[in-house]
Amino acid sequence: MHEVAKGLAGIIVTETTASMVDGSAGHLTYRGYAIEDLTTYANYEETAYLLLHQRLPNLHELTDFQQSLGTQMALEPHFVEVMQRFPKNCHPLTILRTLISMLGVYDPTADDNSLETELHKAYRLIAYTPIFTAAWSRLRRGLTPIPPDKNVGLAANLLYMHTGLIPTPAEVAALNVYLILMADHSLNPSTFTSRVVASTDSDIYSAITAALGALKGPKHGGANEATMEMFMEIGNPENVPSFFTEQVKGKGRKIMGFGHRVYRTTDPRSVILRTHAETLAKNSDNTRWFDIAAGLENLALADPYFMERRIYANVDYYSSVLLYMLGIEPDLMPLVFAIGRMAGWVTHILEQRLENRLIHPEAQYIGENDRVWVKLEDR
């Protein structure tokens, strides 16, 4: 019998140059650049280009990349027709997963895994994900999808297509920061899933569809949705102490958005998102949701149980507040997660293609042996 690494904990299955996570130090880099610098100086498109091309773009390259994304941001009638037939109460991530799969149906190059063609499809996936997200957010409310503005970036377009309003610079900046922070995180469950599918030489749309299936779980991409629902249940800042005492301490209830498989210290993404969530709250004169989140975090940080176990706020905690203040409903939050992570997914799929080996782990059998066959009539 061999020792089993449940959940593949501690098992290194591949090499990557896309991102590095130092869980003990609370440090995250993309292609060697600290996320603190990227969220201060870059927009999402620069970050996506960095991941896909392994370097930052110059002005001409960035302009071409943004124009390429803008050109592909168009919602064809057949997608709208299909979405209009979907049940309005279906979870939005299920809708997005289905639409991404449909992209492969209408792409004649879907099974061409050459690098140049795959890169074109990667751009297409990055462009279409916000289109699908915003269109569904409106169609399910009985509203008409809004075409994108080809003169603004991806973050501004998502907010505009979702609300129909021109977002403020602070709102665009906050969403850009969130998308950058979600762009990659080494071999997380959805990224690993995408690489497993890519390792079979399947098409990129299948790999992304599988990644979205993994993302849907509340232990992964669905955590920001669950976190915001917890804040909404608390309702007001003055209810935070009783929630912590009665629910968390009294009933052992988990604080959603707290704890992380990798980080044994503060999640660096949470620190950045906290600042931007607070700024949005103060700019809007509505600090209710930020105050709830900050109040609950402060109680946890003062509690020996959380400190002894080094349980801190993760990326989902303040991102839920930030997205909600941008007008994103809780069940749409995992889709915005997917918009940001798309750059990382396609990067890892392309990386898998370069030195591909079929990912095929083994399982240790612990069942019964030498069982005697019993005829059907004697059972």
Report DSSP state, residue 313: B
Amino acid at position 219, single letter: K
Q: What tokens does 53 get?
A: 């091309």
Place of tokens 């709250």: 281
Q: Which of 162, 203, 316, 348 is catalytic?
A: 316
Cβ atoms of 339 and 153 closer than 8 Å = no
Examine the residue annotation and report whether 316 is marked as an active-site residue of this protein: yes
Q: Quick one: CA torsion of 53, 59, 63, 64, rounded to 10 degrees?
A: -50
Amino acid at position 24, single letter: S
Distance of alpha carbon 75 from alpha carbon 79, whole angstroms: 7
* CA dihedral for 66, 71, 77, 78, sign (positive or negative): negative
Q: Which of 162, 260, 276, 348 is catalytic?
A: 260
Q: What tokens does 352 get?
A: 């898998």
Examine the residue annotation and report whether 285 is marked as an active-site residue of this protein: no
Instruction: Compute CA distances 114 → 126, 201, 236, 277, 378, whole Å.
Output: 18, 11, 54, 41, 57
- Helices vs. strands in the chain: H and E counts, helices first: 18, 3
Q: Which residues are catalytic?
A: 260, 316
